[in-house]
Amino acid sequence: MGGLSAPVAVHVWPDCVDLALAELRSARALTVIRIAAPETTIRSTARAQLRGALCDTLGSLLERPAASIPLISQPGLPLELDLPGTRIGLSLSHAEGLSVAALHVGGPVGVDVMRVLPEALPDWAAVAQDYLGPQACDQLAAVAPAQRAWAFAQAWTRWEAGLKCLGLALTEWTPGLAQRLALCRITPLALPAPYCGALATQRSA
């Protein structure tokens, strides 16, 4: 995957929706919004709230009622906007207390967020070896233990964001998959502690 660059602003919805819309209407054509979510791993409420924020934002962008925005959600597949003639990529992610949505006019997008735990997972090495690959595992092993939880969250959210951008479900690392993910441009998200996140777009887009 591509190297990191300056963090992407994440706009609080609905307070900063005008900033999000301005980004979508600009040459950048890309924005990220966030909402406060329940402090639980149960996602039903957060999903409903985030979909509502998405519909309101898309309704303003497309100049139509939010209730008329047709979103298609299928297990294992990215959320889609079912409007002929539009090609707006959508991606959602949830963590305890925070949910985010990325919108990209004209191309795929992937976003992922994670609440950073005070300490690294006890099995972080096995998880990194299986999903992030040997190089990432070696890099994490070289990080000071006090910083490893944050470094792991950075690596994990980059991985997940890239997979989402390519329309892939969570899967274990392979050299071939790593080559495909190298086509993604990965950027960190500007989020308040203790959250970490990443945004992915395709380089050819």
Dist. CA 55–CA 66, nearest whole Å: 5
pLDDT value at residue 204 = 65
How sure is the predictor about 85, in pLDDT bands with cuts at 50, 70 and 90?
confident
SS3 of 115, please? strand
Burial 121-140 (b: 16+ CB within 10 A, else e): eeebeebbbebbbeebbeeb
pLDDT value at residue 122 = 83
pLDDT at 1 over 70: no
The CA angle 169-23-164, to the nearest 5 degrees, is 5
Can you give the pTM of this predicted structure?
A: 0.93
- H helix or E strand, kind and range, residue 17: helix 17-25
Residue 202 bridge partners (DSSP): 184
Dist. CA 32–CA 8, nearest whole Å: 8
